Amino acid sequence: MGTKKMRVLVVDDESHVRILLSEVLKMEGFICVQAENGKDALACMEAEPVDLVLMDIRMPVMDGMEAVRIMRDTWPEVPVIMTTAFAGVDTAVEAMKLGAYNYISKPFNNEEIIVNVKRALEIQSLTREVEDLRRVVRTRFSINNIIGKSAGMQEVFKGIGRVAPTNSTVLIQGESGTGKELVARAIHYNSRRSQGPLVNLNCAAIPEGLLESELFGHEKGSFTGAMNHHPGKFELAAGGTIFLDEISEMSPNLQAKLLRVLQDRTFQRVGGTRTLAADVRVIAASNKDLSEAIRQGSFREDLYYRLNVVQLEIPPLRDRREDIPLLVDHFIARCNKEMGKQVQQISHEALKQLTAYAWPGNVRELENAVERAVVMGQGGVIMTEDLPVSLQGIQPRAVTRVNQDRGGSLKEMMEAVEADILQSALDDTGWNRVKTAEVLKMSRKALIYKIDKYGLSQR
Ligand SMILES: Nc1ncnc2c1ncn2[C@@H]1O[C@H](COP(=O)(O)OP(=O)(O)OP(=O)(O)O)[C@@H](O)[C@H]1O
Ligand SMILES: [Mg+2]
C-alpha cells in the first residue's frame, strides 16, 4: 500500500471511545483525526482529505446516518465503517444500504478494527487502480486516438460509429499494421459491452491442436494432460467481446465449430456434454483477403457470411498518404509524453520522405520510424538523418518486384529499375537536374543522356 501514512477519521461522541480507537490505529501506523459528531466530521474532511472514516451511528447534532449519506455523495471513494452498539445492528445494516463499507459492533476487539480498516483501504486502493487503468484504456482506445482524414479512414470511422453500439459481428480487413486491432478495441470500448472483458485470440499463434481448447475450454481428463477443467476464451469473454485475429488461419474443423457458435450462440467445452451459452460479441480480423481464401477452398463461405455482417476495410497507408503528416504529429506527441522528450516538429525534408515512402508495414512501420527518430534526434526537430536508412535518399518505390513480375531479360529489368529510380529522383528534386545528379552521384551529362534514353518527363 505504499509508504504514505493513511489518515483515518474517528467519529464518536464519547471521548474515551475516540481515544481508544485512535491509540489502536496509531500503533498500526495510521494518522488519526477525531470528530465528535457528523457535522464536525464533515468539517474535518473539508479541511483535509482522509482515507477512511470510522464512525458511530448515534450522536448528537448530526448522527452517523445523515453523515454517511453526505460523505458517500461528496467523497464516494472514501470507505466509511460504522461502529454501533449491539442493539443498533439493524440501523447499521441501513447504513450499509446508504453506502457504508461495513459495520463493527461495540464493544470492539482491537484485532477486528485493524483487520476491517486494512481490508477496506486495500480494496479502495485496488478499485482506484482499476479505475485508473480503465481511464487509460478508454482514452488510448477511444476513436479520437485513431488518426486519419483520408476518405478511406472516414469510412472506417463511420463504420465504427454505426456498428459499435450494436451487437453485430464485425469483420475487419486490412494489411498488416493498418490498425485492425486498434479498430477492434475502439469498437469494444465504445459498445454497451465496454465494462465487460475484451479477450484476444490470435488464431495463427496457437497450434492447431490446442486452438479448440483455447476457444471453448476443456473438461478435466478430456485429453492427456488435461488435469483440470479449463475455461476457454468464449467463457472468459462472457458479457464482453472476443477478438479473433488472423481468422484465415483457422482450420476447416474449427471453422465449422465457430460457425455453430455464431448460429446458435452456444458451445461445448472439449470433452464436455453441457451446452453453454455464448454471451459474446465476435470481432474477427484478417490481413488476407478472405474472398480469395474462399476461392482457394481454405475458408468456408458460410462462415464468411456470418462474420461479414458488417465489414470494415482499412486501406493500406500508401493509398492514403494525406494521413501521414497527421500520424507523424500524433506519434511525436505521444512519444514526447511517454518518453519525456520535447520534439517540437519535423523538418520539411524529412516529412517529405516519410510521405513518399511506400510503407509496406503500414502504420506500425511509420510508428516505429517516428519513435526511433524521436529517440535518436538531437534538439527539437526531426531531420532526415534521424529516419531509418531505408527511407533516406531516393526511394526506388518498391519497383524491383513490379519489374520482375513484368518479365523480360535481366538487362531489360535493370533498365526499367534504373528508369524508375531516375524518375523518382527527378520528381523528388522538382526536376532540378544538377541536384538530381548530385544525389545520385552521377554526372549531369550522364543524367541528361539517360533522361533522353528512357524518355522521362515531368509527371
Ligand atoms: N489510424 C491510426 N492512428 C493511430 N495509430 C494507429 C493507426 N493505425 C494503426 N496505428 C498504430 O499502429 C500499430 C499497429 O496497429 P494494429 O496492431 O492495430 O495493426 P493490425 O492491423 O492489427 O496489424 P497486424 O495485422 O500486423 O496484426 C499500433 O501501435 C497502432 O496503435
Ligand atoms: Mg493485429
Which of 176, 243, 367 for mutating ligand 1's site (highest number of atoms within 8 Å of CB)? 367
Cell 487502480 belongs to residue: 129
Give the β-pairing of 7-11 and 170-173: unpaired
Please give the DSSP secondary-structure letter assigned to residue 12.
-
- CATH 1.10.8.60 domain extents, the chain: 318-391
Residue 232: CB within 6 Å of ligand 1? no
Q: Whose CA is nearest to atom 18 of ligand 1?
A: 179
CATH fold of the domain at 318-391: Helicase, Ruva Protein; domain 3 (1.10.8)
pLDDT (tens digit per residue) in 412-450:
878 888 888 898 888 877 888 988 888 888 899 999 999
Domain 7-136 has CATH 3.40.50.2300: yes
Q: Which CATH class is domain 399-454?
A: mainly alpha
* Nearest C-alpha neighbor of 331 from the set 322, 316, 341: 341
Rounded distance from Cα 33 to ligand 1 centre (Å)? 51
Task: Kindly give the confidence (pLDDT) of every residue in the chain, 459 residues in length, as a single tens digit, with 9 standing for 90 and above.
Answer: 445 789 999 999 999 999 999 999 999 999 999 999 999 999 999 998 999 999 998 888 898 889 999 998 888 889 999 988 766 677 878 888 888 888 888 888 888 899 999 999 988 888 888 877 777 776 667 778 899 999 999 999 999 999 998 999 999 999 999 999 999 999 998 899 988 999 999 998 888 888 889 999 988 876 766 667 788 999 999 999 999 999 999 999 899 999 999 999 999 998 888 898 899 999 999 999 999 999 999 999 999 999 998 899 999 999 999 999 999 999 999 999 888 888 888 999 999 999 988 898 999 999 999 999 998 877 788 988 888 877 765 555 545 555 556 667 788 878 888 888 898 888 877 888 988 888 888 899 999 999 998 888 887
Question: Which three three-digit cell numbers place residue 337?
Answer: 509524453
Give DSSP secondary structure letters for 58-86. --SSS-HHHHHHHHHHH-TTS-EEEEEEG
Which of 146, 149, 181 for mutating ligand 1's site (highest number of atoms within 8 Å of CB)? 181
First to last CA, the chain: 66
- CATH 1.10.10 domain extents, the chain: 399-454
User: How much of the chain exceeds pLDDT 70, in percent?
Assistant: 93
Rounded distance from Cα 355 to ligand 2 centre (Å)? 23
Rounded distance from Cα 180 to ligand 2 centre (Å)? 6
Domain 144-315 has CATH 3.40.50.300: yes
CA-to-CA distance for 4 and 30, rounded, in angstroms?
10
Rounded distance from Cα 277 to ligand 2 centre (Å)? 27
Phi-psi region of 192 (alpha: psi -120 to 50; beta: other; left: phi over 0): alpha
Q: Whose CA is nearest to atom 7 of ligand 1?
A: 179
